[in-house]
A and B are shown apart, each in its own frame.
Chain A
């Protein structure tokens, strides 16, 4: 940043201070506390006998369980993100470029409404729908001539359904903003030159809205990798993930150091993945 005069710089500093204080208090301090915990042998308030150790980090590599679960969680993240993009992008396109006026507002409300409700309530609602003899089975049986029983509850699919529903609004909203910003005249020009919809989508809409789409995908990928509540409620026996293992460390055995170390490993792996993908992401911008 360059400033015309010293007073400008001071004024900018003054205005930015609250933001930096907030960042320090809300992000930097708790994260450093967790980093500190992750290097201890026991949480200091649970035992007086603690020392510094890296054992919590090496535990990740010496137990095959943790890498396996991390891979499983990242796989889940990839599936959920892909599904959200596949479902969310067309929705965003329709909202941004096809629907106008009142009905758009109503549709927006419908998309955001689940977002405003408590996530636990949403997941429990899915439990009621997916359960054997639940709403989904009853509805299908009311329509279909042959009796069917999907009984999706307590399976990997149930976790995916719950997560996709929870995170879909992210990709819709970010893609919507990007798609809406595209100048109509570009599309009209392409159309007047005889471009079919496929070409318009591939050469104009997708490249110009890619930053929004990518931002939405990243917003989904990262939290889903650490998610645990959806898996615990909907997953049944398939519901053990990296996130639930971290939660157990905090809640069940009071082993904050290991839980913190596992969280930081997840953070590092997510950063590494985003880093590897950054050439692609940069091209999107």
Chain B
């Protein structure tokens, strides 16, 4: 493994040297639209990229996917790189907001995990509209001081032993996705909604409270309000680092995954610099530094392999068999979202 790390580091340096002369020629200011505090705006990254390519990076932020789309629609030409969740790439592409990306001058793209890089949400008709950047999963988490043995199936959520000691996120879509996994169905197109409803109805008496944010989760967990829960992988890594006795599990039934990509708006005037920035964003050198501060999983297989062996991301997702159990979410129609919310509200009210 050590040898591997040195090898990737070497590859990273080589890639950086390869990149640098090409980009310095046309120093530009590129504008990035992303969630605040989500990797691209790390000070070390902005500095390193400026040093490498001479391009400066300016950020603007959105607080919801809808806001991101609205900003792209109303400010054409204002952004050069935008973070688009894979579930929204199709919509942004159909509206002509983001264009196809020529990855031939992006050496790091070949190191992306093929299943992520070629995700059907990102690649349409052989053209890449979003470069797979980072991903994570929402999955089962238990308090390892209170639950033993460590479960391998979602069935623990329904275990009567933990009645009143269970928490799930207050999100109908996610609840339905987990019930779909527990009933052996496709998370994106479940066939048997009645079975899901029955399964969730049986789950409600188990639930003590619904969590909404990472902060909620940490508070409830520390207070012993629940022992068995769903949780985000990135947040789980941070909570482990804080010393909470939790174990994040990708159970045999599977987990719900999300994939974020970096895209280039059609109206961007700095396409080459934008590609250089995206290439740097999937560079193992960047990722290892970012991961030290708490990052989701990288879509770059070499970057993931370059992590220290003891790191949360590597111990959780290091095994490809585990990654294969993660089911990525696809976009939902407005109608389905409404239908799911209604179902969820009925379930929560106990009707």
Task: Knowing A64-B351, A134-B223 are in contact, say whether A252-B210 is a contact too (CB < 8 A).
Answer: no
Task: Indicate if the CB atoms of B212 and A237 lie closer than 8 Å.
Answer: no
Task: Indicate if the CB atoms of A46 and B225 lie closer than 8 Å.
Answer: no
Residues of B within 8 A of A69 (CB): 349
A220 to chain B, nearest CB (A): 24
Residue of B nearest to A134 (CB): B223
Chain A CB within 10 Å — which of B207, B224, B341, B349 has the most?
Answer: B349
> Could you jot down 7 A-B contacts, CB within 8 Å?
A46-B66, A65-B351, A132-B224, A133-B223, A237-B210, A249-B341, A255-B338
A170 within 8 A of B: no
Q: List which A233-282 residues lie within 8 A (CB) of chain B.
A: 236-237, 239-240, 245, 248-249, 252-255
B342 within 8 A of A: yes
A45 to chain B, nearest CB (A): 8
Task: Indicate if the CB atoms of A248 and B345 lie closer than 8 Å.
Answer: yes
B334 within 8 A of A: yes
> Chain B interface secondary structure, helix, strand, loop or mixed?
helix
| A interface size (C-beta, 8 A) | 28
Task: Indicate if the CB atoms of B224 and A133 lie closer than 8 Å.
Answer: yes
Q: Which of B70, B212, B341 meets A253, CB within 8 Å?
A: B341
Task: Indicate if the CB atoms of B338 and A153 lie closer than 8 Å.
Answer: no
Complex: A249 Cα to B334 Cα, angstroms:
12
Q: List which B208-235 residues lie within 8 A (CB) of chain A.
A: 208-210, 212, 219, 223-225
Contact with A along B322-348 (1 / 0, CB 8 A): 000000000000100110011001101
A185 within 8 A of B: no
New A-B contacts (18) at CB < 8 Å, excluding given A132-B223, A232-B170, A239-B210: A46-B334, A131-B225, A132-B224, A133-B223, A134-B223, A153-B209, A154-B208, A236-B210, A237-B207, A237-B208, A237-B210, A240-B348, A248-B345, A249-B341, A252-B341, A254-B66, A255-B338, A255-B341
A7 within 8 A of B: no
Residues of A within 8 A of B265 (CB): none
Complex: A132 Cα to B223 Cα, angstroms:
7
Complex: A131 Cα to B345 Cα, angstroms:
25
Residues of B within 8 A of A131 (CB): 223, 225
A63 within 8 A of B: yes
B249 within 8 A of A: no
Residue of A nearest to B69 (CB): A46
Task: Indicate if the CB atoms of A248 and B210 lie closer than 8 Å.
Answer: no
Complex: A132 Cα to B212 Cα, angstroms:
19
B332 to chain A, nearest CB (A): 10
Complex: A232 Cα to B171 Cα, angstroms:
13
A47 within 8 A of B: yes
A85 to chain B, nearest CB (A): 28
A52 within 8 A of B: no
B136 within 8 A of A: no
Residues of A within 8 A of B170 (CB): 232
B284 within 8 A of A: no
Residue of B nearest to A63 (CB): B342
A197 within 8 A of B: no
Residues of A within 8 A of B342 (CB): 63, 65
B172 within 8 A of A: yes
Residue of B nearest to A127 (CB): B219
Task: Knowing A132-B223, A154-B209, A154-B225 are in contact, say whether A237-B341 is a contact too (CB < 8 A).
Answer: no
Residues of B within 8 A of A232 (CB): 170, 212
Q: List which A102-161 residues lie within 8 A (CB) of chain B.
A: 127, 131-134, 153-154
